[in-house]
Copies of this chain bind each other. A is one copy, B any other.
Amino acid sequence: MTKQNNRTELSSLGEFGLINLIAKSVKVHNRSTIKGIGDDAAVIDNKSQMTVITTDMLLENVHFDLSFTPLKHLGYKAIVVNLSDIYAMNAIPQQVLVSIAVSNRFSLEAIEEIYSGINLACSQYKVDLAGGDTNSSASGLVLSITAIGQAASEDIVYRNQAKLQDLICVTGDLGAAYLGLQLLTREKRIFLENPEIQPDITGYDYLLERQLKPEARKDIIELLKQTGIRPTSMIDISDGLASELLHLCTQSRTGCQILENRIPIDMKTAELAEEFNINPVTCALNGGEDYELLFTVHPDDKEKIKTLKDVHIIGSITESSKGYKMLDQQKQEIDLKALGWDAFIKKGV
């Protein structure tokens, strides 16, 4: 193996060398993982449970910018955003498969950094890296993650079962990840224009962490179970509250009304939004990458929900003829529109 300045060329390992190296760093957490890396496919034992599967692809310069994304964080985030989809079904993630493509721009050490983040997320959320695929790419880095979860069939929550008068709830706070990205993008631009100027990101750790190292709301899924609350519908917020709410309502054939002043926004988000001259509510509605949960519950669960930390009731489900509305501070009705993250618009493709 050729080593130079701690850079190991991938060509010195070959594909199987790389696979072996990845396999060695993997720990198995779930008894249902019968066979992980090392055969044609992973094998998962299901004791009459439902299997829940989701997949997401992350591309360099589309979903992430390596000039300000540490590789370890990238690996961590790639796993977390997929687990978030599994939790949004009210299921428990058990396995992930990771496919990766890299060009010769990346050394072995770079790949190890990515997998250290992947493994950290796996151990944090007790999921098993059970397989994948390694490839060379002509230019950028590509990650494709598949997450597999399990749930009893009666526990699974779909996004199309919201009912009239159900309460609309969101977890955590919204808009921070979007502003974290704006901050990083601004500092990068300033740096490129004048490399002498040092990035000024002090005081915004929370927003940066929301962008670079998001967490999936495993805690909320556990809390709801403990409290005996089964949401009627649920979705995770990856493209902004407005877009997700519209998904949930169109699929459930309902309308909705939310209150602007109930949308949870962190103080730091509001501060930086002002600095950028953006309405923080716009960040919450359309920013995306929050990975919080949006769900509806039966009105009878209102008192129970109110006791839950980090869960906010922001409105209720209405008849579909009422449309998708937000009442602003002056009680004016505003139409909610899905202006969320859309790869094909944003990148002008």
Residues of A within 8 A of B (CB): 10-11, 13-16, 18, 34-35, 38-57, 59-63, 85-86, 88-89, 91, 95, 97, 99-104, 130-140, 142, 144, 146-149, 153, 156, 158-160, 235-236, 251, 338, 342-345, 347-349
Contact = CB atoms under 8 A, between A and B. Distances in A.
Nearest to A41: B54
A144 B55 contact: yes
Contact of A136 (B14, B89, B147, B349): B349
A235 B14 CA distance: 20
Contacts of A34: 50, 153
A56 B100 CA distance: 9
B136 A62 contact: yes
A133 B56 contact: yes
Nearest to A251: B38
Nearest to A140: B138
**Oligomeric state, in number of copies?**
2
A34 B49 CA distance: 12
Contact of A43 (B16, B52, B140): B52
A343 B136 contact: yes
Given A15-B344, A39-B159, 7 more contacts: A38-B159, A41-B54, A51-B51, A51-B148, A53-B146, A55-B99, A62-B137
A106 to B, nearest CB: 9
A232 B239 CA distance: 48
Contact of A56 (B38, B46, B95, B99): B99
A14 B40 CA distance: 36
A240 to B, nearest CB: 13
A339 B191 CA distance: 47
Sort A-B residue pairs by CB-CB distance and give the 4 closest, nearest first. Answer: A46-B46, A41-B54, A144-B144, A40-B85
- Of listed A101, A130, A134, residue having the most chain B CB within 10 A: A101
A15 B136 contact: no
A236 B16 CA distance: 16
Contact of A41 (B42, B43, B52, B140): B52
B159 A59 contact: no
A16 B61 CA distance: 21
A89 B144 contact: no
Given A41-B85, A48-B47, A146-B146, A11 B349 contact: yes
A159 B40 contact: yes
Contact of A104 (B136, B138, B349): B349
